[in-house]
Structure 1
C-alpha cells in the first residue's frame, strides 16, 4: 500500500486462511477486497463484518465470488473464463458464477455484450449484496441494461426488489432489469451447493423472491440462455418510447452497512414476516440430535427436557440476519414464524440485548423472575452460538411457575468450521454418526471427490442430473420441472470437475433405481467442454450404462465437446440448446 497504492486486491487464499488474508487487506486499507474462497467458517466472517463496520476505507466483495470483470477492458479481478466475454452494454450481478457465465454467453449471442460483471457470490454473509451492486450499475455510464441472478438463501433479492421500486419511482428512464432466481425446486432445508444456498427459518423461498421481483417491474426468465433475448426486447421497447431523463431526478445518498462510499446504497426496509416461510426443521450439513442440544444447554445451567404437553410453546432462536450481516434473536409467541420478530445484535456476542422487548413480543408474564429466566436462556444460547460455531439454534420454550423452561431444541452447527479447520470435530462426528442413512453415505462419498450430491424425493423423480456449478445445477432441476420432468438428484461436479469426477458422478447417479435417464448439462466456463465429454464417454463405457444419456454442452470448447460425443459411436444424445436437451430427457424419462 505504501509503495504501489493499489485500488484493489484479489484474495485467492484457501478457506482455512482466507479470513486472515481479508483482515490483513482491511488493516492495510485496500479500497476494494475481492475474495473467491468458499466455505470460510461462518463465525470468521461474522468477525470480518464486525471489523468492516468500524472502518470506512475498504469494501469487501465475496467470499465465494468469481470476481469482478469489465468486459470493456477496465479490470479483471477473479477467475472468469475470458473467452465467454465480449465488450458491450449489459451489466451482470450474480450469486452464481456458472449462471453468470451462461448469461454472458447469452448476451454475447444476442449481440449485446457486457459492461461490468459483479460476482457477489453465494456465501451466507456476502461483503457486497445484490442491492449494493445494483446501485453501482445504476451510475455506470457503460451499462444500459442489467441482468440480476439470485438464488435461494437470505433476503437479498427482496432487498434488491425494494431498491428497484425506489429506482423506478425516482428515475424517468430506468435501465431495464431482467432476473433469474435459482432454487425453485430446492430440497427443503438442504444446502444446494453454495455455502449460503439454504433457507433459514423465516426466509423467503425462490418463488416468493420471483414474485417480489416481478411486482417491482423486473422481467424474470427461467433459464440463463434466455437473458439475451429478454434484455434485447426490453431495450427495444424502451427505445421506442424513450424520453430524455429529467434533470430533477432524485438520487439516493444513504449509506449501507459498510461505511465505505461505494457509489450509493439504500438501507433495507423491514420485510413483513407474513411474506416469509413458516419455521420448519432444517437439515444443513450438520444438525445435532435433540438430546445433544439439551446437553449443551445443561452445560450452560439451563434446565431442558422434552415437552410434556403442558403450557403454550413459543419459539426462541438465534439465527443469522443476512441483510444486517449479524446474528439475531428470533422470537415468536407461537411456533408459527408469521408472528416471529428478529432482534439483531452485535458480534462478538454482547450482553446488550433488548430482553424486555423480546419478553413482550413472546407475550410472557411481566415479572422480574420471568425476565431473569429468559435472560439466562438467551445468554446460554448466545454462548453456545459463539463457542460451538452455530448458524441456527432453535428452542421451544414454555412459561411455568414464573420461569422459562426449554422443552425442545434443534441446533445446527457451521459445517465449514469443521471442513476447513477441523473445529468442533467431536460434535460434528457424533451428529454425522447419528444422522447416517444410505443417502448421507452417498453424499459423504461424493464430497470426498469434490462433488455435491443430494438425492431428491419422489418416486416420479426419474431424471439423474450431472451439472457443473451449484447455481446451474439448481436451475437445471427447476427447468426440468418446468419442462414436465422431475430430477432425481442435485449434483454439482464442482470446481474440480475432471473426467474421473464425471465418472464418479455417474456411479452415484446410477445407484438410484429410480433413474431412467441421465441429463448432463455443462456450461464450460473454466471447465472444458471436451474434457467433460471424454468423461461422459469414459463413464458410459466403463460403467456399462444401461439408461439413455442426454448431453448438453455449451461454453469453452463446446464444439470439441460435442464432437467427442457425436463421434463416440455410443447411444448418446448430444445438444447445444438447453430446451431441446431438456425436452429429450423428459421424453426418455417417460419410456
Structure 2
C-alpha cells in the first residue's frame, strides 16, 4: 500500500466478509472504496459508517468516502449512474447528478427515483441550486416509482418503503417539479421528453408533466406514511426479501422480556404518541423518531440521531418528551421514557432491526405513567441469510398470519405483493403483472393506474429470471381469482428476451392457461423474444409500446368481467 498508494479499490467478496474488507481498506487510507452492498446486513453497514467516522477523526486531513452499491458507466451513447436501492446506500442521487452535469458529453439527464428515504428531495434542492448558478443548465426529466405501493410494505428493493416522517412519492414529485424537472410516468417517455427539452420545446402528451404544468397523472391514490395500515393488520406482517416483521403479540413478548410496560388493550390508540427507532437515511445514522397526537398530518415527526456505539447516553430525553407531548419537567416521566428509549435502542442493535415502531399512551390521571400500546417491529433478514446471525429472531416468524401465496414463492426469489381493489365498485384489481426488476415492477403498477387500469399484484421475478421462475410467477398470479389478464413487462439486461418468451410459452402450455397474456419485451434479445411469441400459435399478444400493451391488457381484463 505504501508503494502503490492506490486511488481506489473494488471489493467483491461474499456479504459476510464485506465489512472486514471495507474496514481494512479504510484503515489503509484508500480514498475511494467501491463495494456491492447487496445482501450485506444493514447493521454491518452502520458499523462501517461508525468505523469510518472514527478513522476520519484520527487521520485528520485524509478524506475517506465510501461509494457502496453504486456504479458509473460511460459508453458511446450514455453515461449511467446507479445509486442502488438499499436502506443505507453509499452514495446519493446528488453524487450521480454531480458526475452527469460535469460530464461534457452528457446533454440531458433522466432521473429515476422511488419511495423510501429523502434522496429525491435532496436532489431537487441540489437541482435548484445548480440551475441558479448555471447559465445553461442541462434539462432533467424525472420519474418516481411506488405511487401505488401498499403502505408499510417493502416493494422489492430493500429500501423501497416509507419510514415514519419520510416523504411520500407525491412529495418527491412535487419537489422535482418545483426544481423545474419534467415528470414522466414511464421510462419509455424519457427519450421523447428529453429530446423535446433539448430542442427548447415544452414537453407534453399523455404521461408527461412539464415543469410548468400539474402532475395530475401522478396524483392517483397517493399514500403517505401517516396513512399506512395499522400495525395490527395482517398486511403489516407480510414478509419481503430482507425483512422479518413480527406479529404484535410477539413484539410485545420481546418488550415484556425487557421489563417494559405494555398496555393490556389498545383502547386509547387514537391518542398514541409515535416513538420509533430506525435509520435516518439522510444522515446515515440510527435515530429515534417522535411525534405527538396533536401533530395530525400537518407536522412531520422529529428525528433524534444518536451515536451507534454510544446508544442513548447522549440523547436529550427532555426534547424527546416534549416532542411526544409529555411533561418534560416531570422527572418520573423522563426516567421512564429514558428506560423505554434505551431498551428499544439496545434491542435495535442487538437483534439487528431496521424499524422498531411503537405507540405510547400516557395515563390521564397519572402523567408519569407511560405504556406501550402498539408495536410494529421489522428486522433485517440479511443478518441471518448472509451471516447466520439472529436465528432466534428468524424462529419468531409466524407464517400463519402471512399471505400463503407470497410465502410460497419467496423461496424462488420472487417478490410478490397482492394489491387491493380500488374504492369504487368497478375498481377491481384484475390485471396480473409479471415484471423483472423491482423498480420497473413498481412503475408498471403506477403506469397502469395512470391509464385507468388496476394491477392485482406487484411481482418482481428478480434481475436474473429464468424460464422456470417465469412459470412459478404465472402460477402465483393465477391463484388470485380477480386476475382476468396477465401483463408481462420485461426489460432485458441480465434477463434475455428470448428466455423470457420461452418461459411464457412453457407456462402457458404446462399450466393450461385460459387467462389472456399481454407481453412487452424490450432490451437484450427483444426481437428474438417477440418472434418466439408471434410464432407460438398461442393466444399471446406481443407489443413494443407500453401504452399499446397496457391498453390491450385493460381491454382483455375488462372484457371478461
TM-score range, shorter chain: 0.7 to 0.9
* Aligned 8 A contact 2:471 2:504 in 1: yes
Query: Matches of 2:152 and 2:497 in 1, distance apart?
Result: 32
Aligned to 1:18: 18
**Change in 2 beyond 3 A, CA 1:572/1:355:** same
Equivalent residue of 1:324, what SS?
Answer: coil
Matches within 5 A, 1:36-47: 36-47=36-47
Aligned to 1:425: 391
Report which stretch shifted further, 419-428 or 378-387: 419-428
| Alignment partner of 2:527 out of 540, 559, 562 | 559
Residues 1:521 and 2:489 aligned together: yes
Residues 1:362 and 2:324 aligned together: yes
Give TM-score scaled by structure 2 length: 0.86
Equivalent residue of 2:293, what SS?
Answer: coil
| Alignment partner of 2:262 out of 304, 310, 314 | 304
Deviation at 1:564, TM superposition (A): 0.9
* Aligned 8 A contact 1:39 1:195 in 2: no
Equivalent residue of 2:386, what SS?
Answer: helix
Deviation at 1:371, TM superposition (A): 1.2
**Change in 2 beyond 3 A, CA 1:3/1:468:** farther
* Aligned 8 A contact 1:552 1:581 in 2: yes
Deviation at 1:380, TM superposition (A): 0.8
Query: Matches of 1:405 and 1:509 in 2, distance apart?
Result: 42
Deviation at 1:125, TM superposition (A): 0.7
Aligned to 2:215: none
Aligned to 2:218: none
Deviation at 1:124, TM superposition (A): 0.6
Deviation at 1:15, TM superposition (A): 3.1
**Change in 2 beyond 3 A, CA 1:150/1:457:** same
Aligned to 1:353: 315
Matches within 5 A, 1:127-142: 127-142=90-105
Equivalent residue of 1:128, what SS?
Answer: coil
* Aligned 8 A contact 2:164 2:301 in 1: no
Residues 1:170 and 2:133 aligned together: yes
Deviation at 1:434, TM superposition (A): 5.0
Equivalent residue of 1:428, what SS?
Answer: helix
**Change in 2 beyond 3 A, CA 1:194/1:209:** same
| Alignment partner of 1:490 out of 455, 458, 461 | 458
Aligned to 2:252: 294
Deviation at 1:132, TM superposition (A): 2.5
Matches within 5 A, 1:85-164: 87=76, 113-114=77-78, 116-164=79-127
* Aligned 8 A contact 1:289 1:434 in 2: no
Report which stretch shifted further, 132-141 or 506-515: 132-141
Matches within 5 A, 1:317-396: 317-334=276-293, 336=296, 338=299, 340-350=301-311, 351-365=313-327, 366-396=329-359
Query: Matches of 1:310 and 1:219 in 2, distance apart?
Result: 45
**Change in 2 beyond 3 A, CA 1:2/1:499:** farther
Equivalent residue of 1:192, what SS?
Answer: coil
* Aligned 8 A contact 1:202 1:279 in 2: no
Residues 1:412 and 2:378 aligned together: yes
Deviation at 1:40, TM superposition (A): 2.0
Deviation at 1:456, TM superposition (A): 1.1
**Change in 2 beyond 3 A, CA 1:373/1:196:** same
**Change in 2 beyond 3 A, CA 1:178/1:19:** same
Residues 1:397 and 2:403 aligned together: no
Equivalent residue of 1:590, what SS?
Answer: helix
Equivalent residue of 2:501, what SS?
Answer: helix
Equivalent residue of 1:278, what SS?
Answer: helix
Deviation at 1:4, TM superposition (A): 4.7
Equivalent residue of 1:395, what SS?
Answer: strand
Query: Matches of 2:357 and 2:249 in 1, distance apart?
Result: 14
Query: Matches of 2:128 and 2:453 in 1, distance apart?
Result: 35
* Aligned 8 A contact 1:177 1:219 in 2: yes
Equivalent residue of 1:202, what SS?
Answer: coil
**Change in 2 beyond 3 A, CA 1:50/1:187:** same
Give me the CA root mean square deviation.
2.3
Aligned to 2:510: 542
Aligned to 2:68: 62
Query: Matches of 1:469 and 1:308 in 2, distance apart?
Result: 39
**Change in 2 beyond 3 A, CA 1:533/1:434:** closer
* Aligned 8 A contact 1:468 1:494 in 2: yes
**Change in 2 beyond 3 A, CA 1:143/1:29:** farther
Structure 1, gaps ≥5 residues long: 72-86, 88-112, 240-274
CA deviation map 1:297-341 (0-9, x unaligned): 233232222347579532221122100111111111217463521
Query: Matches of 1:309 and 1:576 in 2, distance apart?
Result: 54
Give TM-score scaled by structure 1 length: 0.81
* Aligned 8 A contact 1:184 1:206 in 2: yes
Deviation at 1:552, TM superposition (A): 0.7
Deviation at 1:2, TM superposition (A): 4.7
Query: Matches of 1:59 and 1:583 in 2, distance apart?
Result: 47
Deviation at 1:3, TM superposition (A): 5.5
| Alignment partner of 2:544 out of 550, 559, 576 | 576
Query: Matches of 1:37 and 1:330 in 2, distance apart?
Result: 26
Deviation at 1:170, TM superposition (A): 2.2
Equivalent residue of 2:405, what SS?
Answer: helix
Query: Matches of 2:194 and 2:52 in 1, distance apart?
Result: 35
Aligned residue pairs, count = 510
Structure 2, gaps ≥5 residues long: 57-61, 203-222, 422-426
Report which stretch shifted further, 353-362 or 402-411: 402-411
| Alignment partner of 2:186 out of 218, 223, 239 | 223
